[in-house]
Amino acid sequence: MSLHYLGIDTGGTFTDFVCLNDGKLMLHKVLSTPAAPEQAIAQGIRDMGLAAALGRGEVRIIHGTTVATNAALQGKGVPTAYITNSGLADVLRIGRQTRSELYDLNVTIPTPPVDPSLLFEVDARMDARGNVVQELSKDTLAALKSKVDTRRPEAIAINLLFSFLNPEHEQQIEALFADDYFVSRSSFVLSEYREYERGVATWLNGWIGPLIREYMLSLQRLVTPSSLSIMQSTGITISADQASRRAVNLLLSGPAGGLAAATLSVPHHLITFDMGGTSTDVALISDGIRLTRENHVARFPVAVPMADIHTIGAGGGSIAFMDQGGLLQVGPASAGANPGPACYGLGGDQPTVTDANVVLGRLRPDAFLGGKMRLDPALARSAVAGLASKLGMSLDEAASGIIDVANEHMIQALRAISVQRGFDPQDFSLVCFGGAAGLHLCALAEAMGMHQAVVPMMSGVLSALGMLVARPGRELTRTTRALLDDLGDTDLSAMLAELEQSGASELRTEGVDDYRAEYSLDLRYLGQTATINIPFDQHGNVSAAFAAAHEDRYGHRLAKPIEVLNLRVHLEADRELVRLPDLPDQTPGKPRQRVDLAGVGQRVPVFSRRELARQQTIRGPSLIIDDHATTLVASSWEMKVDDAGNLRLGR
């Protein structure tokens, strides 16, 4: 049996496919169907001729989904009951009492995430060591069941004090409701201290979990008997059967795939720039994908581990408009897949970044999606002309202005994940992917003072390729507040091994027996709030490593006891990554045509990317076109094709 490995990335505008079979790669793109994402997936599978193999169980699908993200952003979760200890029902409403705008005297108080009528308290309590102070009685459970059943929510979120030390009471409540509701338990979702962040993660998991479960079921019906795995926000995958239980771990499902694939082209010191139709995602990778536990999705803090990705509402479909002050603005509203930019000819009439690139000649109407979808320049000009008239500009000036404003949004995002965190962008390569990114790459690199940029092979569908690169795995956490000297390496090893086994048992249900485990500890000096994550090796000196890391970050070390706050275990299947074949030997490609680009004082050569040879060098200005993306090599840049087919640009 010849297996097909199919990576699928669902975006706001396009759904991308990369299929690997017998060492050969096949790429495809279709317009997304946001109301029912599985429809676009079904269409892509038919278009690629995989329906028969799918029915024989010969396709292994790894999918990056936006269902969780869209539900959170649009506030379209299900009615969710929140169960906590007596006296703590207002924790999610109070939050951290931080102000979103420090100097705004009329700040708007956000609406509490939980419907007050769905807040329930129970008389039960654990102490700070996980010992039972007050038992959860049968009468209390019966009364709770009656109250919740009266309200008939669709999901249950359980968040009790110190459940990360002893989950017994949460497990009793879970058993009470498991047959009738979708249940989200904090000691499973995020077994860490800080009841507010743990509560938000647990509530979010319950709020969107039924939607993910329904989507997973629809996909499994579509692909059965073939297998289906889902990309998590950390860049590792989980089986579709278990994905809904960890719905909150899917909030950055799609973008995380692009990071995994980007490291195939540039393993270290890269800044990624993923520009699609609806949004742009940027991230910095110095030594592996950086994870964060301080991210926000919509207005919610999300403390579960996820790739450190900064997302803004600027993409090819971002709509340009004149604000009340007469200034040009771009985004965050997007034309999406339907009706899409005006040039798609699907009924859209508002000017977008894609329309501006068509007007400026950078996006060739007859080469979009390999010629399968022809763009309409007249509709693009008409949409931009309406805005140009309002602004008192010429058509080209308005189109250039749209590009400049969109670029500025993306530059601010790139600065946020580099300069504002103490990194010098000149030490990194800017790696772009997504269908729209190549047209903006050189301008962004110049603005950031960067001298090296890379357009990876298959850049237009790189996130889908990343699904094939990713491995099954888990990120596991458990809070255990104790002094490092009191625990010792033997105790720590035993506790970490126990945590590892809880994840390994999940992986075994996915058929994964061979995996690698990485242990780490969140450490701090006694009395501090912030922690530093330090890799744990039983044969290493953890104390010395922490002191050195503290001095490197803060400029000093302290003569104080070191406290262990969290144990962390990273599990990842031990299997070989997808390896991209080198380009075959061929003669250097020649320009297919020469075209006029607005603002360039000469006719610009247009090359087909598939015709370029290894080590071929092309000076800007020029356009490089493939089936799923276009790259603009600016005047002050030179492009060279490496052996794997990546385009490496230098100033």
What are the start-end ranges of the H helices in 115-181?
138-151, 168-177
Main-chain phi, psi angles of 490, to 5 degrees: -65, -45
CA angle 109, 112, 118 (to 5 degrees): 160
* Alpha carbons 169 and 184: distance in angstroms, whole number: 14
What is the tens place of the pLDDT at every residue in 567-603? 999 998 876 656 777 788 888 889 888 988 887 878 8
More confident residue, 381 or 109: 381
d(CA 648, CA 630): 14
The mean per-residue pLDDT over the stretch 330-349 comes to 86
Q: What's the pLDDT score for residue 576?
A: 66
Given this model, what pLDDT does residue 199 score? 94
The residue assigned the tokens 């038992």 is 135
pLDDT, greater one: 146 or 102? 146
pLDDT tier, 14 (very low <50, low <70, confident <90, very high otherwise): confident
pLDDT computed for residue 286 by the predictor: 85
Q: How confident is the model at residue 538 (pLDDT cuts 50, 70, 90)?
A: low
pLDDT in tens, 167-196: 999 999 999 999 999 999 999 999 988 899
Between CA 234 and CA 236 the distance in angstroms is 6
pLDDT category, 454, cuts 50, 70, 90? very high
Whole-angstrom distance, CA of residue 174 vs CA of residue 185? 7
Q: Give the per-residue SS3 of 383-404.
A: HHHHHHHHHCCCHHHHHHHHHH
Please say whether the beta carbons of 382 and 580 come within 8 A. no
CA distances from 480 to 293, 431, 483, 545, 610 (A): 17, 39, 10, 20, 55
Rounded to a whole number of angstroms, the CA Rg of the chain reads 26
CA nearest neighbour of 607 among 389, 367, 285 = 367
Model confidence over 546-569: pLDDT tens digits?
A: 999 999 889 999 999 999 999 999
CA distances from residue 145 to 149, 159, 181, 311, 600 in whole angstroms, order as listed: 6, 16, 11, 41, 71
- 399: nearest Cα among 597, 212, 205: 597
CA–CA separation, 310 vs 505, rounded Å? 33
Q: Is the pLDDT confidence value at 540 over 80?
A: no
E strand or H helix at 496: helix 484-509
Helix (H), strand (E) at residue 446: helix 441-447
The answer to whether residues 230 and 250 touch, using CB atoms and an 8 Å cutoff, is: yes
Query: Which of 436, 446, 449, 412 is closest to 312 using CA atoms?
Result: 412
The pLDDT of residue 627 is 83
The reported pTM is 0.84
**Do 237 and 231 form a contact (C-beta atoms < 8 A)?**
yes
Residue found by looking up tokens 């772009």 in the block: 432
Q: Quick check: 335 pLDDT over 90?
A: no
Q: What angle do CA 334, 338, 340 make, to 5 degrees?
A: 50
Judged against a pLDDT cut of 90, whether residue 263 lies above it is answered with: no
Q: How confident is the model at residue 353 (pLDDT cuts 50, 70, 90)?
A: very high
**Which two three-digit tokens encode residue 598?**
């607005």
Task: Give Cα 543 to chain centroid, integer Å.
Answer: 34
| Domains located in the chain, CATH noted | 73-213 (3.40.50), 472-573 (3.30.1490)
The confidence score (pLDDT) of residue 584 equals: 81
CB 449 within 8 A of CB 426: yes
pLDDT band at 17 (very low <50, low <70, confident <90, very high): very high
Q: If you write DSSP's letter for every residue of 27-92 in order, what string do you get?
A: EEEEE--TTSHHHHHHHHHHHTT-HHHHHTT-EEEEEE--HHHHHHHHT----EEEEEETT-TTHH
Any residues with CB less than 8 A from the CB of 465 and at least 6 apart, and which?
7, 18, 257, 261, 458, 578
Beta bridge partner(s), residue 639 = 618, 649
pLDDT of 1 > 70? The answer is: no
481 pLDDT exceeds 80? yes
Do 643 and 585 form a contact (C-beta atoms < 8 A)?
no
CA dist 105 → 95, 98, 99 (Å): 19, 13, 10
The band of 252, judged by pLDDT with boundaries at 50, 70 and 90, is confident
CA dihedral 171, 172, 174, 178 (to 10 degrees): 130
Give the 3-state secondary structure percentages of the chain, helix then strand then coil, rounded to 5: 35, 25, 40
* Per-residue model confidence (pLDDT) at position 539: 65
- Assess contact for 596 and 580: CB atoms under 8 A: no
User: For 237, phi and psi rounded to 5 degrees?
Assistant: -105, 165
**What is the percent of the chain where pLDDT is above 90?**
55
* Helix intervals (H) in 515-619: 542-554
Task: Output the six-digit token pair for 232.
Answer: 């998590």
The rounded distance, in Å, linking the Cα atoms of 182 and 579 is 40
35 pLDDT band, cuts 50/70/90, is confident
